[in-house]
Amino acid sequence: MQSYSLPWEYRPQLTKERLSVIAEELLRGKEDVHEILSSPLDDNYTRATCTFGQQKNLL
Protein backbone atom coordinates (compact mmCIF):
# COMPACT_ATOMS: atom_id res chain seq x y z
CA MET A 1 0.00 0.00 0.00
CA GLN A 2 1.34 3.40 -0.99
CA SER A 3 1.92 5.94 1.75
CA TYR A 4 1.10 9.58 1.03
CA SER A 5 2.63 12.58 2.74
CA LEU A 6 0.43 15.01 4.60
CA PRO A 7 -0.11 18.50 3.11
CA TRP A 8 1.71 20.26 5.96
CA GLU A 9 4.80 18.15 5.28
CA TYR A 10 5.06 19.90 1.90
CA ARG A 11 3.87 23.33 2.99
CA PRO A 12 3.91 24.11 6.71
CA GLN A 13 1.31 26.86 6.14
CA LEU A 14 -1.25 24.19 5.22
CA THR A 15 -2.02 23.20 8.78
CA LYS A 16 -4.75 20.75 9.64
CA GLU A 17 -6.72 23.55 11.30
CA ARG A 18 -6.56 25.83 8.24
CA LEU A 19 -7.50 23.05 5.86
CA SER A 20 -10.42 22.10 8.11
CA VAL A 21 -11.78 25.66 7.98
CA ILE A 22 -11.61 25.65 4.18
CA ALA A 23 -13.17 22.17 3.95
CA GLU A 24 -16.05 23.17 6.23
CA GLU A 25 -16.82 26.24 4.11
CA LEU A 26 -16.74 24.19 0.91
CA LEU A 27 -19.03 21.57 2.42
CA ARG A 28 -21.46 24.22 3.73
CA GLY A 29 -21.64 25.74 0.25
CA LYS A 30 -22.34 22.35 -1.32
CA GLU A 31 -25.11 21.64 1.17
CA ASP A 32 -26.66 25.07 0.53
CA VAL A 33 -26.69 24.51 -3.22
CA HIS A 34 -28.33 21.10 -2.86
CA GLU A 35 -30.98 22.59 -0.60
CA ILE A 36 -31.74 25.45 -3.01
CA LEU A 37 -31.61 23.38 -6.22
CA SER A 38 -34.03 20.62 -5.31
CA SER A 39 -36.86 21.22 -7.75
CA PRO A 40 -37.98 18.66 -10.33
CA LEU A 41 -36.11 20.74 -12.94
CA ASP A 42 -32.77 20.29 -11.15
CA ASP A 43 -30.48 17.33 -11.57
CA ASN A 44 -26.92 16.39 -10.66
CA TYR A 45 -25.56 18.48 -13.54
CA THR A 46 -27.25 21.71 -12.45
CA ARG A 47 -26.26 21.17 -8.83
CA ALA A 48 -22.65 20.26 -9.68
CA THR A 49 -22.08 23.23 -11.97
CA CYS A 50 -23.56 25.63 -9.44
CA THR A 51 -21.51 24.06 -6.64
CA PHE A 52 -18.34 24.35 -8.72
CA GLY A 53 -18.98 28.02 -9.50
CA GLN A 54 -19.68 28.95 -5.90
CA GLN A 55 -16.69 27.03 -4.54
CA LYS A 56 -14.40 28.55 -7.17
CA ASN A 57 -15.56 32.02 -6.21
CA LEU A 58 -15.21 31.24 -2.51
CA LEU A 59 -11.57 30.29 -2.94
Per residue of the chain (59 residues), what is the pLDDT tens digit? 788 899 999 999 999 999 999 999 999 999 999 999 999 999 999 999 999 999 999 99
Rg (CA), the chain: 15
pLDDT score of 27: 96
- Predicted structure pTM score: 0.78
Task: From residue 55, give the alpha-carbon distance in Å to each of 38, 42, 59.
Answer: 19, 19, 6
